[in-house]
A = this chain, B = another copy of it.
Amino acid sequence: MERKTDVLVVGGGPAGIITAVTARKYYPDKDIVVMKDVEHGVIPCGIPYMFASLKNPDENKLGNAALDNNKIDCVIDMAVKIDKEKKSVLTDKGDTYFYDKLVLAVGSTPVNLPIPGIDKKGVYSIPKDLNYLKEIIIEIKRYKKILVIGGGFIGVEFADELAKLDEKEVALVEMLPSILANSFDPEFSKIAEDKLKEAGVNIMTGISVKEILGDQKVEKVKLSDGSELEIDAIILGVGSIPDVHLAHEAGLDSDKRKGIFVDEYMRTGESDIFAVGDCACKRDFYTRKPIPVMLASTATAEARIAGANLYKIKVVRENKGTIAIYSTYLDGLVFGSAGLTETTALAEGFEIAIGNVEGVDKHPGSLPGASKSKLKLIFSKQSGIILGGQVSGGMSCAQIINIIGVAIQKRMSYTELETLQMATHPYLTSAPTVYPLVVAAQNAGSNMRS
C-alpha cells in the first residue's frame, strides 16, 4: 500500500502525540498521521507506580483519545527505512508513506549492563511496553528479594514503590557515591537515602554489580567489594540510549549516545525532518553540552516547538536548551531539581554563589499538616543569574521547583527573586517574610557580596 500524508509522526509516546496535537492546532487543514508500533502505549513516568500504587496496571495505559479528538490518523506499524530523497517511509508491514514533513519521535531503549549473567532469567529491564510490563509485574510480585541496579530517578522510584508491597526485601545498588547524583547535591541525596532506608530499602552506594550468578535464574550477585548478595530478581534502572538507528541509516547526523542532532526548532540537518523526545539530542541550557535527559516533560516541550514550526516558524524557540527539571516523591517526601547542581556547576567551571534555606510550608508552623522544606539556589557569582535549584519537603515543593524552572528559563537574577511578589497564605505557604525562594536568593546575595 502507498499513502500520501502531509505530516508523518513516527512514534506514539508523549513526544509523538504532542507534536501531532500541536500541529493540528497550528495547521488545521493538514493531514496528520501518527505511526506507532503497539496499539496501547504506556504513560512513561507512571511505570514504577504500576506495581503497587495503581490498582490495575491498565490504568497507566496511554490512550488514543488525544489523537481521535484532534482528527489525527493513528496507524499501527513500524517504520523500517526512511528515503529522504523520495520523502517516504517504508514500514514493517511493507507499506510506503510519503510525507511533506516527517517527525521522528522514536524514543529510547533501556541500556543493558555489560556484565556476565545479565541474560539470566529474573533480570528485567523496563521498556515502555504495556503488555510486557503487565507480565513482569506478575512475575516480580512472586519474588521476595529484589535488587534494583541504578540509583537515578527510575531506580529509586522502583525501590520506593516495591517497598510498599508486603514481604519484599528491596535493595538498591548505585555505583556513584550517592543516589540521584546527577540532579542533587549530596546533602539532598542524603535525605532521599534516609527516606528510602526508613521505608525499608537497603541502599548501597559507591558499589557496583560485577556479575550475576545462578543456574539459569538469578540467585545472587557479586559486588565490586567482593561480597555477594542473595537475590531473586533484578530490575535494571541504569538509563536508556536514544534510538538513532533509523535516522542514522537515512544519513541524518546523529550519535548513538547523544541522539539525533537537531537545532533549536527541533529540525534535523534535513529541513523537512524533525526529531523530538528521547531520540533527539538535548543540550544543557547553560553549558550547551549534550546531556542525557530523557523525560516526558522535556519531550512534550520539544514536541510543542516542533508541532508549531513544521511549515513555518510560528513560535520562536525561546527556550534555548534543556533545563533538566525533575521531581519525584519518595515515601511521602517531594524532591525537585532544575538546572545545574552545585557539583555540576563547579565541575563545569562556573563561579557560583549559593543560597540555602530551611522552612515550613504553612504559617504559623503550628497549623495542622505543616511540613518542613529545604531549598537551595545556585547563582552565577558575577552575573547574578540563577543556574539551578533543588528542593525537598512537602507537596508544595512539587510546584516550587516549577517556579525555579521558570526563573531559570527567564534567566532571572537574584535581585529579581529577592523582590518577587508571591501569593502566601497561612494554610498554603510559608510566611511572606520567610518565603523560601526569596530568602534563598537573599542569602545567595549576601554570599556574593562577601
Contacts and interface: CB of A to CB of B under 8 A. Distances in A.
B425 A327 contact: yes
A82 interface: no
Contacts of A400: 399, 402
B428 A334 contact: yes
A423 B325 contact: yes
Contacts of A412: 406, 410
Contacts of A25: 442, 445-446
Interface in A86-113: none
B422 A405 contact: yes
Contacts of A261: none
Contacts of A125: none
A60 interface: yes
A416 interface: yes
Nearest to A13: B433
A429 B336 CA distance: 12
Contact of A401 (B22, B296, B423): B423
Interface stretch (A128-136, A170-178, A245-253, A315-323): A315-323
A43 interface: yes
A421 B366 contact: no
Contacts of A409: 416, 420-421
Nearest to A60: B364
Contacts of A305: 419
A435 to B, nearest CB: 7
B328 A425 contact: yes
Contact of A315 (B18, B304, B418, B426): B418
Contacts of A334: 428
Nearest to A337: B423
A156 interface: no
B364 A424 contact: no
Contacts of A364: 43, 46, 54, 59-60
A4 B286 CA distance: 49
Contacts of A319: 416, 419-421
Interface in A393-445: 395-396, 398-403, 405-407, 409-410, 412, 415-416, 418-429, 431-433, 435, 438, 442, 445
13 contacts: A45-B424, A46-B364, A296-B431, A304-B438, A308-B419, A318-B419, A319-B416, A327-B428, A399-B400, A399-B429, A403-B406, A405-B422, A409-B420
Q: Which 3 A-B pairs have the closest CB atoms?
A: A399-B399, A398-B428, A297-B432
